Amino acid sequence: MTDDIKSAHHPEIGELEIAAAELPDDTLARMGLDAVGASQWRIVWRRLLRHRLAIASFGILVLLGVIAVFANVFAPHGYATQYLSQQLRSPGAGHWLGTDTLGRDELSRLIYGGRISLAVGFGVALSAGVIGTIVGSLAGFYGGRLDTLLMRVTDLFLSIPLLVILIVAATLLGGSVLDIVIVLSIFFWMPLARIVRGSFLSLREKEFVEAARSVGASNFRIIVRHMLPNAIGPIIVNVTLAVAEAILIESVLSFLGFGIQPPTPTWGNMLAESRDLATTAPWLVWFPGLCILLTVLCVNFLGDGLRDAFDPTQDLIKR
């Protein structure tokens, strides 16, 4: 019974899924299953929709994104405006989330800080995603010396703790937003490159790649049109999770004073400024941290939902 499908943990069920794919479309729609020929994206999207937590998280992230992009509309005050008579106000009317030691409005600073934190998170994830995909596909496609070199470089960087190397590199480059995005990107692409390399190594042997080659497709075309679409799931999941990681690491760097420098607010350096005020103005500690937690949690839930959606073998049994 398990002759041909060995992939799933429950081979029997794996087979039944396949068998179900042979049914007419209307039956399938009733069962919430996907018909043969439905595009991969539609399947993924439908699976994702069933992951309610991931969808809710996606919604929250979109909301946070909109608020960040239109920070000047949503923020009640400027992020640098100092209300000198209203220093260290606790949350209440006028300043909903209180003020800091310079009398700046905490809510406004959180909104503008969110803009920076999200920009860093997405900027790093995207650029690292592009670099990682390119390097990984080249190494996986061509193998040989390029592959060896890539793996050695990755090993080398992995032997120095990430935070340490980031602190050193950030010291070298400086503390602007762009500097930090560059520094993080340099060290964020490697895990993805490894994953892409891995899937390319196995895809290289697949029949459809052989077929494409036999009809004279160029290497570039084979990589972009035939192999990349088949490796897209892990890439998207990884890039998504990298957003969370980048936001966390940026906040740590800024917190330690090696990241984005004041007066530009980020959730991390706001926490750094609040550290000495923990006992007198605890709200300055609570809010930026909750913002980071909420964002990172949502990104992680979304990433998890995507992983399930792309790799259905992991989750076949009705919950």
Partner 1 sequence: MGQYIARRALVSIPVLLIASISVFAIVKATASPVAAIRSNPRVSQAAIEKYTHDLGLDKPPPEQYLTWLGNFIRGKWGTSIVTGRPVGPDIRDGLFNTMILGITSFLVSIVLGVGVGIFSAVRQYSFFDYLSTGSAFLGLSIPVFWFALILQIVFGLYLTNWFHLATPVLPTAGMFSPGATGIDLIDRIRHLILPVTVLSVQIVALYSRYTRAGMLDVLHSDYLRTARAKGLNERTVMMRHAMRNALTPLVSVAAIDVGALAGGLIVTETIFSWPGMGVLFISAMENGDYSVVLTWMMIVVAFVIVFNLIADILYAVLDPRIRYD
Partner 2 sequence: MTDVTYFDPERDSARPVIAVEDLVAEFRTEAGIVRAVDGVSFDIAQKEVFAVVGESGCGKSTVALSVLGLLPQPAGRIAGGKVLFRGEDLVSASPARLRQVRGDRIAMIFQDPLSALNPTIRVGEQIAEVFRAHREIEPKVAWEQAVELLSIVGIPRALARAKDYPHQFSGGMRQRVMIAMAIALRPALLIADEPTTALDVTIQAQILEVLLDVRERFDMAILLITHDLGVVAGTADRVMVMYAGKKVEEAPALDLYRTPKHPYTWGLLGSTTRVDRPRTGSLPQIPGSPPSLLVPPPACRFAPRCPRVQPICRTDYPELRKVDVGQVAACHFAQDPGWGPAPEEVPA
Interface residues toward partner 1, by CB under 8 A: 9-10, 155-156, 159-161, 163-165, 167-168, 171-172, 244, 248, 251-252, 255-258, 271, 274-275, 278-279, 282, 285-286, 288-289, 292-293, 296-297, 300-301, 304, 317, 319
Q: What's the one-letter identity of residue 30?
A: R
- Residue 233 structure tokens: 């799931």
The phi and psi torsions of 315 (rounded to 5 degrees) equal -145, 75
Decide: 121 and 65 in contact? Cβ < 8 Å.
Answer: no
How big is the site for partner 2, counted in residues (CB under 8 A)?
Answer: 24
266-286 b/e (C-beta count within 10 Å ≥ 16 → b)? bbbbbbbbbeeeeeebebbbb
User: Using CA atoms, how far apart are residues 225 and 237, in angstroms rounded to an integer?
Assistant: 20
- Cβ 41 to partner 2 shortest distance, Å: 19
How far is C-alpha 240 from the chain's CA centre? 2
314 forms part of the interface with partner 2 (CB under 8 A):
no
Q: What's the one-letter identity of residue 60?
A: I
Q: Among the candidate windows 9-17, 131-139, 196-204, 294-302, which touches partner 2 by CB under 8 A?
A: 9-17
User: Using CA atoms, how far apart are residues 298 and 267, in angstroms rounded to an integer?
Assistant: 16
User: Using CA atoms, how far apart are residues 239 and 249, in angstroms rounded to an integer?
Assistant: 15
215 forms part of the interface with partner 2 (CB under 8 A):
no
2 forms part of the interface with partner 2 (CB under 8 A):
yes
- Applying CB under 8 A, among 7, 22, 52, 221 the residue interacting with partner 2 is 22
- Cβ 25 to partner 2 shortest distance, Å: 13
User: Using CA atoms, how far apart are residues 173 and 11, in angstroms rounded to an integer?
Assistant: 53
- Cβ 188 to partner 2 shortest distance, Å: 35
172 forms part of the interface with partner 2 (CB under 8 A):
no
Decide: 260 and 245 in contact? Cβ < 8 Å.
Answer: no
What count of other Cβ atoms lies within 10 Å of the Cβ of residue 131?
Answer: 17
Out of partner 2, partner 1, none, what residue 32 binds, judged by CB under 5 to 8 A for its kind, is partner 2
User: Using CA atoms, how far apart are residues 255 and 26, in angstroms rounded to an integer?
Assistant: 56
Binding-site string for partner 2 from residue 23 to residue 62, where x marks contact by CB under 8 A and - marks none: x---x---xxx-----------------------------
- Cβ 9 to partner 2 shortest distance, Å: 8
Binding residues vs partner 2 (CB under 8 A) = 1-6, 9-10, 12-13, 15-17, 19-20, 22-23, 27, 31-33, 316-318
